Amino acid sequence: MDLHGRSIVLTGAGSGIGRALALQLADQQPRLTLVGRHREPLDEVAEAVRAQGGQAHVVAADLTAAGAPATVAEEARRQFGGIDVLINNAGNVRAGRLEDVEESEVISQIALNLTAAILLTRAALPALRAGGDALVVNVSSGIALVGMPFYTTYAAAKAGIAAFGEALRRELYGEGVHVLTVYPGATSTPMMDTSKAGPEHGFDYESPDNVATAALAAITDGSLAVIRGGDARRQMIATNREDPAAVDRLLAERKDALEKAVAEHSSL
């Protein structure tokens, strides 16, 4: 897909991977609808996009609020006359043993990472379909492919959005709407500020710029998936398919240290 001049809805655009995507997309003079709860970082990104010749419209909204996905889709359609690309990037996380995570924190992770993305896609579909050459990008996580201890709800939500994308891609096959799933590995963004997990726990960080570059390359060449995390992660994904008990044993060795390192990890 050629992104030049396209109307693109990007959620979670004020920080991390979303911000990097917006700034890289700006080179192609898109018409960007930037979504997040806090207006100030979105305004800053919008200014940078306009400085590079793109158009940007800010919508400050909590995507988990009742009716918000429909309102966001309608505002983007009205502002730019249609929607060509929807990037479901906004996400949150709360790590910890399942029984130590509050009920509200379980609900919040599913509400944003899964339900809001499904509802926004549903709301945007008539506009996406109308263009005849459209794309939905769902930002999942490597954790969807290899479930990690202490990330049970996050893993469930991210595996859910990946399965949603696969099913939707097949549902829309031949109908002018493609679906791409992005599986970032550990990425240095504000989401990870409260995590103490490092390479010794199997978390090798890369920059949000690298993830954004890979995602945009996949959009351009029509790929189905972008899996980050390097060779070690690719190997673990393969082992997890062929011999999941081997991954259980590997992670068991790191379990106690990992539990301590991610005890305070929350972006809620």
Q: How far apart are the first and last CA of the chain?
A: 34
Residue 179: strand pairing partners: 136
* Binding of ligand NAP by 261 (CB under 6 A): no
Q: Which of 26, 63, 135, 179 binds ligand NAP (CB under 6 A)?
A: 63
* Residue in 10, 12, 33, 114 binding ligand NAP, rule: CB under 6 A: 12
Residue 121 touches ligand NAP, criterion: CB under 6 A: no
Task: State both tokens at 110.
Answer: 């599913």
d(CA 29, CA 2): 11
Q: Find the binder of ligand NAP among 37, 196, 254, 255 (CB under 6 A).
A: 37
CA dist 195 to 6, 27, 198, 267, Å?
A: 36, 33, 8, 10
Within 175-194, the residues that bind ligand NAP by CB under 6 A are: 184, 186-187, 189-192
- Amino acid 160 reads G
Which residue is catalytic, options 154, 173, 183, 205? 154
Residue 219 contacts residue 180 (beta carbons within 8 Å): yes
Q: Decide if 154 is catalytic.
A: yes
Reference 162, options 175, 180, 178; nearest CA is 180
When asked if residue 44 is in the footprint of ligand NAP (CB under 6 A), the reply is no
How many residues belong to the site for ligand NAP (CB under 6 A)? 29
* 7 counts as binding ligand NAP under rule CB under 6 A: no
Residue 117 engages ligand NAP in binding (rule: CB under 6 A): no
Of 80 and 154, CB closest to ligand NAP: 154
State yes or no: residue 92 binds ligand NAP (CB under 6 A).
yes
The three-state secondary structure class of 259 is helix
Task: Please state at what angle helix 39-51 crosses helix 16-25, rounded to 10 degrees.
Answer: 20
CB of 99 to ligand NAP, least distance (A): 23
* DSSP code, position 36: E
Tokens encoding 125: 């579909």
Region near ligand NAP per CB under 6 A, out of 32-40, 44-52, 171-179, 240-248: 32-40
Instruction: Say if CB 121 and CB 168 are below 8 A apart.
Output: yes
* Residue 202 interacting with ligand NAP (CB under 6 A): no
Helix axes 244-261, 230-242, angle to 10 degrees: 130
If binding is defined by CB under 6 A, does position 73 make contact with ligand NAP? no
Shortest reach from residue 159's CB to ligand NAP, in Å: 12
Residue positions counted in the chain: 268
- Distance from C-alpha of 12 to C-alpha of 35, rounded to nearest angstrom: 6
Nearer residue to ligand NAP within complex by CB, 27 or 62: 62
- List interacting residues with ligand NAP (CB under 6 A): 11-12, 14-18, 36-38, 62-64, 89-92, 112, 139, 141, 184, 186-187, 189-192, 208, 267
Residues recognised as catalytic: 154
